[in-house]
Every structure is written in structure tokens, then in C-alpha cells.
Structure 1
Amino acid sequence: MTTVRELMSVNPECAQGQDTLVTVAAKMRDMGVGSLPICDQDQRPTGILTDRDIVVGCLADGGNPEEMFAADVAHSEPVCVGAGVPVDEALTLMAQHQIRRIPVIDQDQRLIGMLAQADVAREQSEPQTGSVVEDISR
């Protein structure tokens, strides 16, 4: 059975809670991603911030993204998965929480990777991929 470790992206970027939303948005743009984990100084995920969070939590309310911080609008207590977990279990978590990317943590709860829907799709057959996308996008 394939584990998360085999498919995850390593050396993930994360944002800090005190980063401005402009800083985080620029990082997302440069990386071509729609979400970033928020980590403490020990690389432990404390939240996750999506591009939608920036729009809904700041811009839609007339907030200034240069004056608001990642911690202000990020989802606290991110859903994470261990590197040794079977990919099927990670996909179940992703579908349950309607997320396309999930932080991967080690035994000390430190961020060591990210598993994206696209990482799994590249390794599966077309019918399996369609099923994964459908489950996560419900």
C-alpha cells in the first residue's frame, strides 16, 4: 500500500502567524498554490490559510491586507496526516474536510511535507483520479 511519504512534496513552505496577508498572498502566487500552512517557530502547523480565507476574511469586509495578519483569518487546528499513513486514509481525511492539500507531519508534529490532490492524481489511473476529485470537491 502506498504511503503519504511516497507521494508528498518535501521541504514545504509555510507562513508565520505574524506575516501580513499581502506577504502570504505573494508567497502563494509565487509558488502557484492556493493555501499555505501557518507554522510556529518549531515548524509545527498551527493553522492553514487559503486564498479564499484572504478574500472572505479580509477583502470582502473592507479590510486592508497590508495591516491584517495570517493568524487573523487562518483556520486554526489544521487537519494533518502522518507520513506513514496509507494514501487512502489521507484521501478520506481530505474528502471529509473538503481540502485539496494536507500538511504532513512527523512524530514530533513538525511539518515535513504536503500532500496535494494532484500528487495522488499523478500516481493513479484516470477512473481513480476522477473519484478522488469528486470526493474532495463535494
Structure 2
Amino acid sequence: MITARELMTADVTCVRASDTVMDAARAMARLGVGSLPIRGEDDTLKGMLTDRDIVVKVLAEGKDPVAMHAGELAQGDAVTVGVDDDVEAVLSAMAEHNVRRVPVLDGDDLVGIIAQADVARALPDRPVGDLLKAISTD
């Protein structure tokens, strides 16, 4: 049984809730990623910030990315999986919530992130195809 621990990328860069959206955008560009977990000042996961969030909720609405904080874009609870969850639980969470990346928690600690590409590398074609179909509805 493959677990989230085996699928995840452990080296996760986060943005602080108090960081500006511009800082987050620059970090995404530097790292070549499309999303970053948002950590609160207490180090707990507050949500995920995506490049799409920045474009749609900040730039398209004429808001200032230098004045706006990443934490303002954290909406509700982030979809997460546990470090020991099996691959079926990971696939289910991604498909059910229509997300391409899911943070991995060990208790309350963020220990990794699983992207659609991580799943694609680890699994046979059929489950990957089903996942892609489920999360590519928009």
C-alpha cells in the first residue's frame, strides 16, 4: 500500500499569512510553482494560495498585491491528507475537492505536499486518468 508519505514532496516552502501577495507571487516565480501553503504566525496551516487566486481575486479585481496579505486569501479549511493515509484516500480527497495539490499533515504539522504530478509518477495509468478526469472539470 502506497502512503502519502511515499508520494509527497517533503521540502515545502510556505508563505506566511502576514506576507504580502506580491511576496508570495515572487516566491512562486522563484520556485517555479503554482501554489504555496499559507502558514499562520502560530505555524498552523491556514490554507493554500494559488497563482489563480492572485490573478482572479487580486489583480482582476484591481487590488494592490503589495498592500494585500496572503492570509486574506485563505478561505475555509485547506483540504489535507494525513502522512499515513493510503493512496486511495489521497486520490479521493483530490477528486472530491477538485484540487491538484494537497498538503500532507502529521498531526497538525505540515510535512509535505502531494501534487497531481507526484501521483502520476507513482501510480499506473488507470487511477491517474480517473484523477485527471475528476479534477479537470473546469
Q: Which runs of 5+ in 1 are unaligned?
A: none
Contact 1:50 1:74 in 2 (8 A): no
2:45 maps to a residue whose letter is P
Matches within 5 A, 1:1-138: 1-107=1-107, 109-138=108-137
Contact 1:18 1:71 in 2 (8 A): yes
The alpha carbon displacement at 1:133 in A equals 1.0
TM-score, normalization: structure 2?
A: 0.92
List per-residue Cα deviations over 1:94-138 (Å, max 9, x = no partner). Answer: 11111111010112x110000111101001223332222111212
- The two structures, once aligned, show a CA RMSD in angstroms of 1.3
Contact 1:53 1:74 in 2 (8 A): no
The alpha carbon displacement at 1:93 in A equals 0.7
1:32 maps to a residue whose letter is G
Q: Which runs of 5+ in 2 are unaligned?
A: none
Give the whole-Å Cα distance in 2 for the aligned partners of 1:41 and 1:5: 25
2:64 maps to a residue whose letter is N
Q: How many residues align?
A: 137
Where does structure 1 differ by over 6 angstroms across 4 or more consecutive aligned residues?
none
1:137 maps to a residue whose letter is S
The alpha carbon displacement at 1:11 in A equals 2.4
